[in-house]
Structure 1
């Protein structure tokens, strides 16, 4: 696979996720640097105000020149007024970068999902991949944004506050360097206890939610057996558990809030008293304004340190999400088409020469030593019990998997040497369950065929026995099918799938149990449409109901991953072998 420029072109795994983040944001380095500078300026009021307050207090207490008061007020007003435009500039610079990077990661994940092998997708849940695209990327966004907004704010206050203390009252700097971290650690220990109670409350709420779901599902059984009282008692037990857990949590929240408030205020009063006594007795040369400033900085710096410690869970979650997306972006299980010959034209001749395939970790091959030559335009039906290897053969033809033994030829060319993406432009698949996306009928039928006009869409629908029901819909071709085609019946969805195949005019056609889930009337309409669809095309059909394949040019009977019989319907019945046994078994 040719490597793409951008988020896919990186190690991701085996390195610290912070380095990965630096790589992801490499294109926005200048914007982020500018955002950090703007933030430092716009956040300056938090650590400048205590200094300005000290100047105002000294002016009043010591009766200094009044111009000093106006200068202090002017500085305060200026730094407050410029906050608004600077904040907007900061949001534009930083949040814009974060959003662009998140979009790039999501695009890279979706790109890699399209490149990953079908074997990978069969093993990894679609829900897990969806969570990586949605939740993991969102966790990275939140980590960067909160670290910037909250963390950078706390760092700015700490650096600015400590710098002012070091310049104006250096003798108090060692006190701050000891007291502030100690106070912050104590507050965080209280929060840790609170987190445990929050976890217990969440688990109780989840248990209650499970009980509610269970109760609603069993209402018919409960009412039928007059067990309403029993069900309500079970539900009330869960409700009481949530009540007690919630009350304990509220009490713990109250204790934490009160203890933290009392502790920090006692610390502040103690520090204020000590500073006042030092100023009063002239132990150190500090002014009344310095006393007020130091008291304000104690609370501000303690809160900032606590905030930084509190960011740890958010940062940990974000970095873990970086590792999580790396599992997808750097997985080696991709379909290898790099440097291989493109398929510009297909006649439809397919030949299996001793083809075998073994799934990873399987003890036995799924198919073994298959020899089969299919002429252009021939219809081949694959029949046999579940696990016989039929679906594996289809996946080999589509190119979802490549043979682990033997050779598979397309028009005389080894498919191992072909770019299978270009081959699939000449192929269509009609699966057992039609896959429709939320959109109009026109969009679903002409999916990937932007050049298809209305007449071409209508012709495909007509040949698929679908035009009649489409024209009865209020909006015709522009009618919405609903999510997964929820507004259509099974037969209607399957006929749309056939129309989608017809409009592509494929040379190779795959029909995988295309009528197995339909009622008799719908099956008849679909079979008529399929008869038009297979005409002149190399077709591989998998079906459990043998009545649907009797008109195939040849029927291939499989068992245990090997071909046991090949022939027409009449020839196989005349032999009285495995096909005849399958036929009698279904008739019974």
Structure 2
């Protein structure tokens, strides 16, 4: 395995290491990992005392102390990403040394050790962290990525009961369904019983008076069975439709409530698969599966009872194979759950790949990547096909077993029943009834494997849907949230720390006080943390430490509707929804009048090009606004923000990737937009931030410099001055290139 650590242990440290951790030293914390220094699986530990850091590794003879370092000689502890692993690294006497290494399953342990060691070296209190390991606490299987649900330990009964909670609004329909199911089962048991009397009473003993009534009874029974099946089918179709609507509504409502951190860890295709494929699987089962299950279970109970009533000695032999079938069903159900879990996973992967390719079609064609994407998609559909083949092959193996078992049961009835007829202890009519009932018993058992198929698909799909519904909402409105119908615009960051995951911190102690109506320009290298700061201000995420306040109130204590209604954003890549120009401008205020929409468009310098469209403001913009140019989309987004009328405005690279003339028009629109508002602006061209009241330079997640454009340029070794000089050099190169052209 290759990694980025050049030196792991200085030789001197290996030779001079102590034999064990001295008892005289106070242990501050320990961290247990699962990789040795040679990258082989094995238990290892980092023990940090008040004086030294010790790395210990397990061997067949016990635990050996591998290396130790004085805490005073360790600098800059950090987490290094390796291949399927991570390591805690620190600087020691001019070289990098590794203190502990773990697989991704225990990456949070490495991250926690880094936070504790950093605090210890700075003389700060160590944070209280939970060293989470991504394994199931019950069975020790690795948990799925971004999920705490272990597929091997899910309680199927609870999942089924939870699924049936959606039927509560339709109790009357359920009662009617139960009556139809039980009544239909009772009716299906009548024809073989009538056949027995037809043979014994009419054909054998010549009771001609009973002939016509028995025939009419059989006709009536078949007609009643048909009517009940129709009523049952129509009722369950209605129930399935309503329950599926309810589940999809709940799922979409939960997806809207989840924060961006949920979407950061999942691809769109996977989420769409749960909304479409999984809920469709639930509908199929509710409409086709559950009614069949109830009917077949009733037959499996009713038929043996009828057999025992007619002749219990023969009935015992007829139902003898059933326990073996049920045992096989139990084993088969467990196998099919694993198989269908893989199928659903492959569906999600294929959907995610397809979604990414379709959204990036322009890039694919621009870089002639069609063949590569075809090959990648072919791998996904091949994986899906293989998983589907495993499922169907398993069913094809189980089906003949049931057929063979029931054939044996029929043969046993012929043998035992035939001997009974010959010996006079059983009539021919009873034998024919037995054969008819056993034949009908074969139906439920033959359907049993399909029931397993349906139930497995349903429960697997339900678990995936409920997993999303059970995802904790990390951006919630506090119970004691304060209403602020009118924001003044004062914003304050106090010791703000944040990381998109627990193992990586992006912002480190941001402190910034912004006055109402002040324009702040955020400057820094790509990846410095500017957009992350904006995401926190929009409350797409909450800080892991510290507070962000608006008008002196912690954002976490402000009503979300009040806050979001008074904050607007214009992004570099402005997203337009499929619809008309007017719909997109009025998205923040759907009730806005046409006059208000026109006024916002004029202020955004968008009115002139809009009226030149054939349909004007009713022009369809296309998927993601692809029928418009980048500058046109940007000005419509600005019009949307103007109509929204926010008190706090965020401009994230709002003039990037457009030509000079379009940039001038956008700048004029922005001047109309920023007036009287608190503005946070990130600009690709630093010259556009000259008019900002203050510039805040973000470097490596920290506030490095604060001042006006002139004040920061006056710093000879300042970061902002270097950025300006670099941009001027780039512009000079571009100018020379254009002159040469």
Q: How far apart are the structure 1 equivalents of 2:338 and 2:547?
A: 60
Deviations 1:455-481, CA, capped at 9 Å, x for gaps:
222222222222233323333222222
Match of 2:458 among 299, 302, 318: 318
Is 2:207 the partner of 1:68? no
Q: How far apart are the structure 1 equivalents of 2:468 and 2:229?
A: 36
Alpha-carbon distance, 1:273 to partner: 5.2
Q: How far apart are the structure 1 equivalents of 2:666 and 2:522?
A: 19
Partner of 1:331: 471
Partner of 2:274: 132
Q: Which runs of 5+ in 1 are unaligned?
A: 1-11, 201-209, 225-230
Is 2:483 the partner of 1:342? yes
Q: How far apart are the structure 2 equivalents of 1:543 and 1:411?
A: 26
Q: How far apart are the structure 1 equivalents of 2:512 and 2:268?
A: 35
Task: Classify 1:409/1:191 alpha carbon distance in 2 versus 1 (closer, same or farther; 3 Å).
Answer: closer
Alpha-carbon distance, 1:579 to partner: 1.1
Is 2:410 the partner of 1:268? yes
Partner of 1:18: 160
C-alpha contact (below 8 Å) 1:139/1:318 kept by paired residues = yes
Partner of 2:50: none
Match of 1:490 among 630, 648, 658: 630
Q: How far apart are the structure 2 equivalents of 1:13 and 1:274?
A: 45
Superposed, which structure 2 residues align to 1:553-568 within 5 Å? 553-568=693-708
Is 2:253 the partner of 1:111? yes
Partner of 1:371: 512
Task: Classify 1:514/1:194 alpha carbon distance in 2 versus 1 (closer, same or farther; 3 Å).
Answer: closer
Superposed, which structure 2 residues align to 1:136-285 within 5 Å? 136-182=278-324, 268=410, 271-272=413-414, 274-282=416-424, 284=425
Q: Please identify, of 138-147 and 574-583, the stretch whose mean Cα deviation from structure 2 is larger.
A: 138-147
Task: Classify 1:66/1:466 alpha carbon distance in 2 versus 1 (closer, same or farther; 3 Å).
Answer: farther
Alpha-carbon distance, 1:404 to partner: 3.9
Partner of 1:203: none
Q: How far apart are the structure 2 equivalents of 1:362 and 1:552?
A: 35
C-alpha contact (below 8 Å) 1:188/1:306 kept by paired residues = no
Partner of 2:184: 42
Partner of 2:680: 540
Task: Classify 1:444/1:518 alpha carbon distance in 2 versus 1 (closer, same or farther; 3 Å).
Answer: same
Alpha-carbon distance, 1:541 to partner: 0.9
Partner of 2:63: none
Aligned residues: 548
Task: Classify 1:486/1:39 alpha carbon distance in 2 versus 1 (closer, same or farther; 3 Å).
Answer: farther
Q: Which runs of 5+ in 2 are unaligned?
A: 1-152, 343-352, 358-363, 730-741
Alpha-carbon distance, 1:358 to partner: 4.4
* TM-score calculated relative to the size of structure 1: 0.80
Deviations 1:43-89, CA, capped at 9 Å, x for gaps:
54543322222233334422443342222222232233334543343
Alpha-carbon distance, 1:20 to partner: 2.0
- Helix, strand or coil: the match of 1:572? helix
Partner of 2:498: 357
Partner of 1:524: 664
Deviations 1:409-456, CA, capped at 9 Å, x for gaps:
322333232123321101111122222222222222212423212222
Partner of 2:606: 466
C-alpha contact (below 8 Å) 1:191/1:256 kept by paired residues = no
Q: How far apart are the structure 2 equivalents of 1:190 and 1:410?
A: 59
- Name whichever structure is richer in helix by fraction: 1
Q: How far apart are the structure 1 equivalents of 2:607 and 2:553?
A: 39
* TM-score calculated relative to the size of structure 2: 0.65
Is 2:722 the partner of 1:581? yes
- Name whichever structure is richer in strand by fraction: 2
C-alpha contact (below 8 Å) 2:492/2:513 kept by paired residues = yes
Match of 1:447 among 560, 584, 587: 587
Deviations 1:176-196, CA, capped at 9 Å, x for gaps:
221345578789999999999
Alpha-carbon distance, 1:345 to partner: 0.5
Q: How far apart are the structure 2 equivalents of 1:415 and 1:345?
A: 14
Partner of 2:653: 513
Task: Classify 1:495/1:57 alpha carbon distance in 2 versus 1 (closer, same or farther; 3 Å).
Answer: farther
Is 2:621 the partner of 1:481? yes
Q: How far apart are the structure 2 equivalents of 1:470 and 1:42?
A: 65
- Helix, strand or coil: the match of 2:572? coil
Match of 1:96 among 234, 238, 260: 238
C-alpha contact (below 8 Å) 2:488/2:516 kept by paired residues = no
Partner of 1:206: none
C-alpha contact (below 8 Å) 2:333/2:452 kept by paired residues = no
Partner of 2:99: none
Q: How far apart are the structure 1 equivalents of 2:498 and 2:328?
A: 62
Q: How far apart are the structure 2 equivalents of 1:183 and 1:87?
A: 27
Q: How far apart are the structure 2 equivalents of 1:189 and 1:20?
A: 24
- Helix, strand or coil: the match of 1:498? helix
Match of 1:304 among 416, 440, 444: 444
Deviations 1:488-544, CA, capped at 9 Å, x for gaps:
222222222112111111111111122323344443333332222222221111123
- Helix, strand or coil: the match of 2:548? strand
Alpha-carbon distance, 1:559 to partner: 0.8
Task: Classify 1:572/1:321 alpha carbon distance in 2 versus 1 (closer, same or farther; 3 Å).
Answer: same
Q: Runs of at least 4 residues of structure 1 off by over 4 A?
A: 12-15, 180-200, 255-267
Q: Please identify, of 424-433 and 270-279, the stretch whose mean Cα deviation from structure 2 is larger.
A: 270-279
Q: How far apart are the structure 1 equivalents of 2:410 and 2:700?
A: 81
Is 2:710 the partner of 1:570? yes
